[in-house]
Chains A and B, each alone.
Chain A
């Protein structure tokens, strides 16, 4: 065996190990969700009795359906706001020269590194004082504080890659500033905006720390928090099947989304890192 093929087999095996390690839990979750509640803890990996009972069960519980509604609503609003505000900020950072430009980017990066847990306590007290506890804005605001800096960071690297000379070329070609933006710049910026949208949405969608601490009821509880609060059949049983089914329901769409856009997302996260 030559060195090259040996290297290749070595790498392939490493990849297989990584993929197995990361996908087995998901697969296990899927299998759990397809078991009957009684056989959930029977120790076998493959269900003896295949059933969709758990899925029917969670969609019949208002805890889950309202949580799903909250998750989608809060996620979309936070993301839309973040992308809208961040794109203006990133546009300024990419295009204009003003003092403190680098500082803004540095502070943005710092905020994304800030440990969220340390904010939960103060926010809990503050939100109860001002009446934002267990409301949509009560989650949207903290999500924005973390999503905005990341969005600004990703978008500004995207915007920096747009050849702005095109705007002038369009002007020479007879376009008004508005036409230059809609017909030339916007189509070029769209992939960047879409990628940022997905990245930010995932952050909001997956958040657990804020969701579990700042909500209490169906009014604002998101799916990750709701799953943790699923009631069992009796107070001594764990609703394992329901939890697994709910986890699959919220994970699969996200996985599909990421797989579809993975190339762009990777490009977005590394944009500007290496001059292409």
Chain B
């Protein structure tokens, strides 16, 4: 058991490219920390530096209070689960899981006992004498987990361990990993590009963009109080809607209508960094919309009429897409997110598409005009100049 501390960690390659820039991150003992970000944001590089597979250019890495910059992976007492599992194809499952212990000259009886114990936890007992080639993807993934577990290391490092599984199995293994981590209470650093995985698994999440740490916090903190456009756009599915807006006294003028600023929001806005005099970018989560007919207390919200272009039924809820007559907001951060999602080259459309999540009780029909309600308490406001949130935390 140990805490991991990254202090001003920087990775610079020979050609001057900085993959990780001045990263500061504390992972508490027993904590499940997620490193998340789009591909190429430096999250894997950061993890590999912690593992010792990649040299640290600058800064200090401490595991359990000890500086380990110059230690080899074998002296760091960490276990890693690789994206493609990296199982030894010429060894049986038992040998794979016991390899580290065998290298450490653990007595055979103890190896057997530990491997059997891990196999029991992971439900691999009947596969112990098989080779990895004869296992399914999910079983291989569990063997990779088992290899990490048997060593009882001071930290687990996981590099997108679920990305090679199909969707259903991924959800199942996600719960499994969460269960194992809670049971073993081992400090875990987990890399993923999937924000759903990040939200569901992590005690805390660190969002990286182009090697720079954007925000660290509990899942709900990142969801409700994103510090900038990038975090706001990255966390949440469907993603947050962004609309151009103006603040005019007590009112935010949105393309869907005027929204009176609720008191709580006003207080946060006043305590915020200021700015946004030439217009702001408003962020509206799909969850904060509702079919006006279903809302009893319209309170601080605002209602507006719109035509639903596309209606997706998810069973438990609807995703309603409608178009707002407004220029699409442009910001560096949002551009990057669009590129990551591959939506930059979608056919151009008039106005901005907005998605709302509606209760399944709604009577909404595709192509119909409907009255929607938006909860202004959860409005997000960003400075278009630097992408930072205008709201204090």
Q: Could you tell me which A residues sit within 8 Å of B by CB distance?
A: 163, 165-166, 168-176, 179, 183-184, 187-188
Does B104 sit within 8 A of A, measured CB to CB? yes
Measured between beta carbons, the chain B residues less than 8 angstroms from A168 are 53, 73, 82, 86
- Other contacts beyond A172-B73, A172-B78, A188-B90: 6, CB < 8 A: A165-B84, A165-B86, A169-B80, A174-B100, A174-B104, A175-B103
Residue pairs across A and B with Cβ atoms less than 8 A apart, 28 shown, are A163-B86, A165-B82, A165-B84, A166-B86, A166-B88, A168-B73, A168-B82, A168-B86, A169-B82, A169-B87, A170-B88, A170-B99, A171-B73, A172-B51, A172-B52, A172-B53, A172-B73, A172-B80, A173-B99, A173-B147, A174-B100, A174-B104, A175-B103, A176-B74, A179-B103, A183-B99, A184-B88, A188-B89
Q: Could you tell me which B residues sit within 8 Å of A by CB distance?
A: 51-53, 72-74, 78-80, 82, 84, 86-90, 99-100, 103-104, 147, 151
Interchain CB contact under 8 A, A174 and B103? yes
> Complex formed: what's the CA distance from A55 to B74 in Å?
61
Shortest 9 CB-CB contacts between residues of A and residues of B: A173-B100, A169-B86, A174-B74, A165-B86, A174-B103, A171-B73, A172-B80, A187-B90, A172-B73
Beyond A174-B103, A174-B104, whether A169 also contacts B78 by CB under 8 A is no
Interchain CB contact under 8 A, A172 and B79? yes
Interchain CB contact under 8 A, A169 and B104? no
Chain B residues touching A, majority SS: loop
Nearest chain A CB to B274's CB is how many angstroms away?
A: 48
Chain A residues touching B, majority SS: helix
Nearest chain A CB to B147's CB is how many angstroms away?
A: 7
Measured between beta carbons, the chain B residues less than 8 angstroms from A171 are 52-53, 72-74
> Complex formed: what's the CA distance from A174 to B148 in Å?
12
Nearest chain A CB to B295's CB is how many angstroms away?
A: 53
Nearest chain B CB to A192's CB is how many angstroms away?
A: 13
> Complex formed: what's the CA distance from A166 to B99 in Å?
12
Measured between beta carbons, the chain B residues less than 8 angstroms from A174 are 73-74, 100, 103-104
Measured between beta carbons, the chain A residues less than 8 angstroms from B151 are 173
> Complex formed: what's the CA distance from A49 to B90 in Å?
53
Nearest chain B CB to A64's CB is how many angstroms away?
A: 42
Measured between beta carbons, the chain A residues less than 8 angstroms from B147 are 173
Measured between beta carbons, the chain B residues less than 8 angstroms from A179 are 103
Measured between beta carbons, the chain B residues less than 8 angstroms from A176 are 74
> Complex formed: what's the CA distance from A169 to B86 in Å?
6
> Complex formed: what's the CA distance from A271 to B102 in Å?
33
Measured between beta carbons, the chain B residues less than 8 angstroms from A163 are 84, 86, 89
Most buried by A among B51, B79, B82: B82
> Complex formed: what's the CA distance from A187 to B80 in Å?
22
Residue ID in chain B nearest A179 by CB atoms: B103
Nearest chain B CB to A242's CB is how many angstroms away?
A: 47
Nearest chain B CB to A252's CB is how many angstroms away?
A: 32
Measured between beta carbons, the chain B residues less than 8 angstroms from A172 are 51-53, 73-74, 78-80
> Complex formed: what's the CA distance from A15 to B147 in Å?
49
Most buried by A among B86, B87, B90: B86
> Complex formed: what's the CA distance from A184 to B87 in Å?
10
Identify which of B74, B78, B90 contacts A175 (C-beta below 8 A): B74
Measured between beta carbons, the chain B residues less than 8 angstroms from A166 are 86, 88
Nearest chain B CB to A181's CB is how many angstroms away?
A: 13
Measured between beta carbons, the chain A residues less than 8 angstroms from B51 are 172
> Complex formed: what's the CA distance from A172 to B80 in Å?
7
Residue ID in chain A nearest B83 by CB atoms: A165
Nearest chain B CB to A199's CB is how many angstroms away?
A: 22
Nearest chain A CB to B85's CB is how many angstroms away?
A: 9
Residue ID in chain A nearest B89 by CB atoms: A188
Residue ID in chain B nearest A175 by CB atoms: B103
Nearest chain B CB to A164's CB is how many angstroms away?
A: 9
Nearest chain B CB to A158's CB is how many angstroms away?
A: 14
Beyond A174-B100, A174-B103, A174-B104, whether A169 also contacts B74 by CB under 8 A is no
Residue ID in chain B nearest A166 by CB atoms: B86
> Complex formed: what's the CA distance from A92 to B151 in Å?
33
Residue ID in chain A nearest B72 by CB atoms: A171
Measured between beta carbons, the chain A residues less than 8 angstroms from B103 are 173-175, 179
Measured between beta carbons, the chain B residues less than 8 angstroms from A188 are 89-90
Measured between beta carbons, the chain B residues less than 8 angstroms from A165 are 82, 84, 86
Nearest chain B CB to A263's CB is how many angstroms away?
A: 16
Measured between beta carbons, the chain A residues less than 8 angstroms from B87 are 169
> Complex formed: what's the CA distance from A179 to B88 in Å?
14
> Complex formed: what's the CA distance from A175 to B53 in Å?
13
> Complex formed: what's the CA distance from A174 to B76 in Å?
9
